Amino acid sequence: MNEFNSNSAIGVFDSGVGGLTVVREILRRLPNENVVYFGDTARVPYGSKSKNTVVKYSRQIARFLLTKNVKAIVIACNTASALALDELSRELPIPVIGVVKAGAQMAVNITETKNVGIIGTEATIKSGIYSEYIRSLSKEITVVSKACPLFCPLVEEGLLEDRITDDMVERYLSELKAYDVDSLVLGCTHYPLLWNPIKRYMGPAVKLINPAYETAKELKQMLKEADLLRTDNAPATYEFYASDGADKFITFADSVLPMHVKNAEVVDIESY
C-alpha cells in the first residue's frame, strides 16, 4: 500500500544515467522537493528493446518506487514514456508524467521554419509518438526523425567529448542538417549530455530542445493542481538507486548534478 502525502518524494526513473538530466531540471524548478531516482543500469539500453520488455521493466521500477511511498512518478526516459506511459498512468494510484509531450510542445512553440528534427532511440522513433503529438498540435509542421542508437552507449561510457562521438554525430545528423531543420528535439534523456558536440555540428541557427525543462515545469504545475507541493521546510533529500554499477553511477551523477552524490544503492529490480 503506497502511503503518500504532499511531503513524500517524487519518484524519477530512467534506463540509466540519462534521467539525471531531468533530475537536474527538477532541482532547479522544485528545489524544495525530495527525489528518489532509479537508474536501470543493469538493463540499459531500453531503446533497442520491444514494447513488452520496456513495459515489464517500467512496471517493476514503478513497484519499487511505490515502496518508497512516492507521491508522483516522472518517467525520465523517452523510450519508456513512448512505450509505457499509458500503462503506468492507468495502473498506478499516483500521477505519472513522461517527457515526450513536453518536448513536442516545445518544438511547436519554437520552430519558425516549421521544419522540426527529432532524434531518439530506435524504439522512440519507431513508435512515431513525437510526430503524432506534434501533428496533433500543428498540422503545418514537417517532422524529420532519426534514431541514434549509439549515442546512449557513448554517454553511458562517459565519451561526451571524443572524436568517436563527433564522428557518430556527423553520421547520424547529416540527414537532418540537409533537411534544414531549425529546431532539434533531443528525444532521449541521455542526449542533452551530448549538447556540445551536437550544437557544434548543427550550427548556431538550429535550436536544440531539451524536453527536461518543460517536463519540470509540467511537474510543478501538476503538483500544484493536485495540492501535492511539499510544505515541509527541512532541506530536501535525494536518494539514488541503480540496478548495477553503483560506483560508476555515483561518478556520473556527480558530474551531472549540482551537488555531491554520496551514495547509490544497488537494487535487485528483477525481484519487484
Residue ranges in contact with ligand DGL by CB under 6 A: 14-16, 18, 44-47, 77-79, 120-121, 124, 152, 188-190
**Long-range CB contacts for residues 224-230, cutoff 8 Å, separation at least 24:** 226/72, 226/95, 227/6, 228/6, 228/71, 228/72, 228/95, 229/6, 229/30, 229/32, 229/33, 230/6, 230/7, 230/32, 230/33, 230/34
Residue placing its CB nearer to ligand DGL in the complex, 15 or 145 = 15
The CB-of-184 to ligand DGL minimum distance in angstroms stands at 15
Residue placing its CB nearer to ligand DGL in the complex, 47 or 197 = 47
The CB-of-256 to ligand DGL minimum distance in angstroms stands at 13
Residue placing its CB nearer to ligand DGL in the complex, 190 or 207 = 190
The CB-of-169 to ligand DGL minimum distance in angstroms stands at 16
The torsion of the CA quartet 26, 46, 263, 99, rounded to 10 degrees, works out to 0
The CB-of-147 to ligand DGL minimum distance in angstroms stands at 10
CA separation, residue 82 to residues 50, 51, 123, 124, 142 (Å): 12, 9, 8, 6, 20
User: Catalytic positions, please?
Assistant: 77, 188
One DSSP character per residue, 172-232 reads HHHHHHHTT-SEEEE-STTGGGGHHHHHHHH-TTSEEE-HHHHHHHHHHHHHHHTT-S---
The residue sitting closest to ligand DGL, measured at its beta carbon, is 47
Nearest to 39 by CA among 255, 262, 245: 245
* Reduced DSSP (H G I as helix, E B as strand, rest coil) percent helix, strand, coil of the chain, to 5: 45, 15, 35
Residue placing its CB nearer to ligand DGL in the complex, 198 or 228 = 198
Residue linked to cell 527538477: 26
Residue linked to cell 509505457: 84
Residue placing its CB nearer to ligand DGL in the complex, 94 or 193 = 193
The CB-of-124 to ligand DGL minimum distance in angstroms stands at 5
